[in-house]
DNA sequence: GTATGTGAAGTTATTCACAGCG
DNA sequence: CGCTGTGAATAACTTCACATAC
């Protein structure tokens, strides 16, 4: 389906990823009291070209002013609308290790549209522990928490052996998006989206880049 | 410069990222005792096509056997050679919060070529704390640790306001690659590589995907 | 039969460059 | 003038399809 104006309803994946980056910079600018921003400034933030930025933003409408730039607050709202984070998302964390604790205590999620409403584990020693704003509960209580809080997103920080099995529980409970920190590919139904976060891979990319200096 | 055989000495960025994913799957396979793998199997892991996998692997030589597949151990060695992780890298962490603790206690880095040799902060209450295998030290001791251990990579987990200033200290101490968890773009000399890790962005991608079901 | 390696074709994404508006 | 929005050109990446080897 085509939109009346030249607005595509299918946004290229690289653009969607960059939208998050723009949003981070806009948040920083807003915190500093800036009201306007140019494609040039946003381009510097993502270390890309200004044409790239304008293309990305033009994908879903025209709200820059020629000769002037973009309104910071407007752009924040527009990007949050695209990303779906003008509404608050409830999120659960499964696997109550150190990483889970770090995530639960991290302040940034809340302001950006994500509320961590529960954390689960099977280890009896962890259950009952208070961790930031939530208490660790047994994984058997998970489905109920997900249903009652209309949770659609989950963060998986369980060990690699447990990850597929846990993902299945999440899917059965109605979860539609999973951020997975374990190094295993999840087998889930097509309507469930998985986002793999591999911290080792990030170090490996650096190792590659540092070992191959010609790489730009 | 061209290589004698059809081997490019410049590997496309998406391919380098996939190499890490292949490596994770190969590690899993090796742990299960598998000795061979096909492009089809690797493709399933990354949810891509088998031609893609073969292209990626053919970028740096031919070591599959037609009609058979690839040797798991060989492939592990080859990919680690490309990524530069057959040698061990010493890494420091700056910013001794919860995330730092999670990273220091994470077992996966060591086996994959990364040894965390130090962690630093400015908060006097944190200094002296034992955290996994290392003790938190004052940031003034950082340059010496980096020099003595020939550290080239660093992980930044300091708050966003401190990040540029801390990055400069790292660069001055000779660091060449930075994994940055703060939502700010670092201004560093061109020989220093930065890898931005934005956990909020990952949730935003999921939010977008879940909100736009038609997206494949 | 099975699975790789790779030209050729196709697709997607980025950059150029400039018209158009403030 | 400055900065956006965008066709047109370019570059990057992916997929097809098949010869080749086991």
3-state secondary structure A16-39: HHHHHHHHHHHHHHHHCCCCEECH
Token couple for A66 = 């020629």
CA distance A116 to chain B (A): 12
Interval A24-74: pLDDT, tens: 999 999 999 999 999 999 999 999 999 999 999 999 899 899 999 999 999
Confidence band for B213, pLDDT divided at 50, 70 and 90: confident
pLDDT at residue number A216: 54
* Terminal C-alpha separation, chain A: 39
Q: Is strand D in 7 Å reach of the CB of B138?
A: no
Q: Kindly write down the DSSP assignment for every residue of B24-79, as one continuous string.
A: HHHHHHHHTT--EE-HHHHHHHHTS-HHHHHHHHHTT---EETTTEEEHHHHHHHH
Are B183 and A153 an interchain contact pair (Cβ–Cβ within 8 Å)? Answer: no
**A69 dihedral zone (left: phi>0; alpha: psi -120 to 50; beta):** left
Enumerate the β-bridge partners of residue B132.
none
User: Which nucleotide has its C1' atom closest to residue A68's CA?
Assistant: D3
Residue of A14, A206, A212, A214 to mutate, testing the B interface (most B Cβ within 10 Å of its Cβ): A206
Confidence band for B194, pLDDT divided at 50, 70 and 90: very high
A166 with A158: CB under 8 angstroms? yes
Q: Is strand D in 7 Å reach of the CB of A36?
A: no
In chain B, which residues from 105 to 124 place their CB closer than 7 Å to nucleic acid strand C? Answer: none
Q: Are strands A134-138 and A130-131 parallel, antiparallel or unpaired?
A: antiparallel
* Mean pLDDT, residues A133-141 taken together: 96
Closest CA to B103 of B132, B73, B146, B61: B132
Confidence band for B2, pLDDT divided at 50, 70 and 90: very low
Q: Which strand D bases fall within 7 angstroms of a protein CB?
A: 1-7, 12-17, 20-22
Query: Which residues are within 8 A (CB) of B51 and not within 5 positions of it... i.e. 6 or more apart?
Result: B39
Report the alpha-carbon distance of residue B107 to residue A182 in Å, rounded. 12
* Separation in Å, CA A216 to CA A27, A209, B168: 28, 8, 20
CA distance B35 to chain A (A): 18
Sheet holding B130-131, edge to edge: B130-131, B134-138, B114-121, B89-94, B153-156, B177-180, B193-196
B216 pLDDT above the threshold of 60 = no
pLDDT at residue number A5: 54
* Mean pLDDT, residues B30-38 taken together: 97
Using a pLDDT cut of 70, give the percent of chain A over it: 95
Closest CA to A102 of B101, B127, B124: B101
Are A208 and B106 an interchain contact pair (Cβ–Cβ within 8 Å)? Answer: no
pLDDT at residue number B117: 98
pLDDT at residue number B132: 85
Whether the full predicted model's pTM is greater than 0.85, yes or no, is yes
Q: Are strands A36-37 and A69-71 parallel, antiparallel or unpaired?
A: antiparallel
Confidence band for A215, pLDDT divided at 50, 70 and 90: low
For chain A, list the domains and their CATH numbers. 13-82 (1.10.10.10), 89-200 (3.40.50.720)
Closest CA to A29 of B160, B73, B178: B160
User: Residue A212 CA to C6 C1' — how many Å?
Assistant: 26
* Mean pLDDT, residues B103-127 taken together: 97
Report the alpha-carbon distance of residue B43 to residue B54 in Å, rounded. 9
B89 with B152: CB under 8 angstroms? yes
Token couple for A70 = 């973009």
From A21, A99, A208, residue closest to B83, measured CB to CB = A208
The residue of chain B with its CA nearest to that of A175 is B210
Under DSSP, is residue A100 helix (H, G, I), strand (E, B) or coil? helix
Confidence band for B101, pLDDT divided at 50, 70 and 90: very high
pLDDT at residue number B7: 65
User: Residue A205 CA to C1 C1' — how many Å?
Assistant: 39
User: Residue A145 CA to D9 C1' — how many Å?
Assistant: 54
- Look over chain B and give the mean of its residue pLDDT values, rounded to a whole number: 95
* Mean pLDDT, residues B13-17 taken together: 97
* Mean pLDDT, residues B42-58 taken together: 97
B46 pLDDT above the threshold of 80 = yes
- Look over chain A and give the mean of its residue pLDDT values, rounded to a whole number: 94
Report the alpha-carbon distance of residue B22 to residue B42 in Å, rounded. 6
Higher pLDDT, A146 or A10: A146
């Amino acid at each position: 389906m085509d939109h009346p104006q030249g607005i595509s309803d299918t946004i290229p994946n690289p653009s969607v990823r960059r939208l998050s980056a723009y949003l981070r910079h806009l948040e920083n600018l807003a915190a500093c009291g800036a009201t306007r921003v140019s494609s040039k400034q946003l381009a510097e933030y993502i270390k890309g070209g200004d044409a790239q930025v304008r293309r990305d933003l033009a994908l879903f409408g025209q709200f820059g002013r020629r000769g002037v730039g973009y309104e910071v607050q407007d752009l924040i709202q527009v990007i949050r609308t695209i990303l779906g984070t003008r509404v608050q998302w409830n999120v659960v964390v499964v696997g109550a290790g150190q990483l889970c604790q770090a995530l639960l205590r991290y302040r940034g999620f809340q302001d950006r549209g994500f509320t961590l409403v529960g954390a689960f584990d099977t280890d009896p020693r962890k259950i009952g522990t208070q961790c930031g704003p939530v208490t660790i509960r047994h994984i058997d209580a998970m489905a109920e928490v997900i249903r009652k809080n209309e949770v659609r997103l989950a963060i998986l920080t369980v060990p690699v052996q447990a990850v597929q099995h846990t993902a299945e529980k999440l899917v059965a409970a109605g979860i539609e998006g999973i951020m997975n920190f374990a190094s295993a590919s999840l087998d889930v139904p097509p309507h469930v989206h998985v986002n793999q976060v591999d911290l080792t891979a990030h170090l490996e990319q650096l190792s590659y880049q540092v070992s191959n200096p010609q790489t730009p």
